[in-house]
Structure formats: structure tokens, C-alpha cells
Amino acid sequence: MQGGNVTRIAVPVHIAEPRSYTERIADGWCFAPIFLAKAANADDPVERLKNVITFSIAGLHNTLFPKKPFNPILGM
């Protein structure tokens, strides 16, 4: 397809995800209230660090199977 227009290629709808890019990014931060609240209330700096690290990696399981947005040009 040298010089072809890739916006005219038909793709099955089940490949696309109906959510926007911003909604998908928010999945990684879905555990923020739980672990950041524990970190804020912790007196021990090591426990605080453990909770912040747990917060940062807790939402990664939501990003294992990323799909492309329904309309990649608009990002939604």
C-alpha cells in the first residue's frame, strides 16, 4: 500500500475500545484513594514509601491489554 490512505481501511469494531485516551489513562490511578490515604496517615517513613510505591504499581494490571481508541485521530 505504498502511498495509500490508511483511513479507508476497514477494521473490525471489536478491536477498538469505546473509551477515550484520558479515560484509559485514569485506570492506572484507580487505587489512589486507598494507598495514598494510608501513606498520608503513616508515621513511619518506610511504611509511607511502601504505600506510595504500592499506589504507583497497583493499577498496572489495568493496562495489560491496551486497545486502540475507536477514532485514533480524535483519541476517542
pLDDT tens-digit readout, 40-55 = 999 999 999 999 998 8
Banded model confidence at residue 26, pLDDT cuts 50, 70, 90? confident
Q: Evaluate whether 24 touches 66 at the Cβ level (below 8 Å).
A: yes
Angle 42-46-50 (CA atoms, 0-180°, nearest 5)? 80
pLDDT tens-digit readout, 57-67 = 887 776 666 56
DSSP string, 3-57: T--GGG----GGGEESS-HHHHHHGGGTTHHHHHHHHHH--SHHHHHHHHHHHHH
Q: Where are the domains of the chain?
A: 6-69
